[in-house]
Amino acid sequence: MKGLVFELQHTDGTSHARAGKIITGHGVIETPIFMPVGTVGSVKAVQVPELKNDIKAQIILGNTYHLYLRPGLEVLEKAGGLHRFNSVDLPMLTDSGGFQVFSLTGLRKMTEEGVTFQSHIDGSRHLFTPERVMDIERSIGADIMMAFDECCPGNADYKYARQSMERTHRWLDRCVRRFSETDPKYGYHQALFPIVQGCVYKDLRSASAEYIASKEAEGNAIGGLAVGEPTEVMYEMIDLVHGILPLDKPRYLMGVGTPANILEAIALGVDMFDCVMPTRNGRNAMLFTKEGIINIRNKKWEDAFEPIEADGASYVDTLYTKAYLHHLFKAQEYLALQIASLHNLAFYLWLVREARKHIMADDYHTWKEIMVKRVMQRL
């Protein structure tokens, strides 16, 4: 059973931006890449053929916490894993559920053993330990599994941030042990990615990156960012760990973010991204386009009969007009949510493909400076 392979193909001559290739048991992923979020085994309002054939997704993210609660491990194992259950034969990544568990304020209790929490669905009580999370992710069957960590708030004080980071490292050791003691259940390799924590403190981030790098995992993640800290501080933390994490392994920035965030983080050496923003904002009538951000509910689009994007990355861009999508949102038609979600995901994936082209051409920095201003302006 072959392991995960990362091939670093080119580094931009004007930044730390990288173009690479990740080879998994379910296919090849060209980086930099954006991963649509399929929290409960589906990307909201988007069907599998559209994911694969229209927006050209290369990897999908699932959520351990939600899939554990529903449909549950018994169903997933009977199905032969999540790939067979949801008919998505693309590479998949599962987060550890840590972020969801720690966000259940008032419904969870954390100890050294793990986290006891109440289900948001029925109030039932459950325990996530590092060992249990590894077993759950084995059962889900993702190609890339995330280690169980504590997601420290962006405004945490130094003492708490240090204690949180040290617990994450101890839990990582337990994850690694359990991972090495178990085998994949469905006949293909699964990789384990540890997560750098340390909040907004330089010495903690450096120490965490060094600890994570020492594990020599097949890839590494940067967590605990975009959780309330200033954007410039987030970039500072990413730049700091760039010089510590191994260059020959993929880097995954968790839960980030806006088109500008992604472009800036690519320049800082990040390879993989996920965020609910394209689908969540799309369902709320916000469209990301190559010329800027549109609130399609605004009256100015009522008689805008041009395509959503004339040279768009998805069939919905040229098939439907802004006026029609404006009408669908006003009429509260479900089709509006589907069109907007498809458009935004297609745009995000177009953006990282374009980034890759400019990395290969050694002019990424110049292109990025233009695009950051363009795509974030309000139209």
Q: State the Cα–Cα distance between residues 168 and 254, nearest whole angstrom.
A: 16
CA atoms in the 13 A half-sphere facing the CB of 232: 0
3-state secondary structure of 328: helix
Residue 272 CA from chain centroid, whole number: 7
Q: What angle do CA 220, 209, 194 make, to 5 degrees?
A: 35
Strands of the 125-128 sheet, one edge to the other = 108-110, 115-118, 125-128
DSSP state of 90: S
Q: Which of 96, 371, 98, 99 is nearest to 261 (CA)?
A: 371
Residue 21's alpha-carbon distances to 6, 29, 106, 139, 148, in angstroms, are: 6, 6, 42, 26, 26
Residue 271 designated active-site: no
Q: What angle do CA 262, 192, 114 make, to 5 degrees?
A: 100
CB 197 within 8 A of CB 160: no
Q: State the Cα–Cα distance between residues 121 and 272, nearest whole angstrom.
A: 31
Strands of the 18-24 sheet, one edge to the other = 5-11, 18-24, 27-31
Q: Which of 8, 20, 1 is nearest to 355 (CA)?
A: 20
From 12, 149, 271, 274, active-site residue: 274
From 54, 95, 149, 317, active-site residue: 95
53's CB contacts (< 8 A; 6+ apart) are none
Residue 303 designated active-site: no
49's CB contacts (< 8 A; 6+ apart) are none
Largest CA distance in the chain: 62
Known catalytic residues are 95, 274
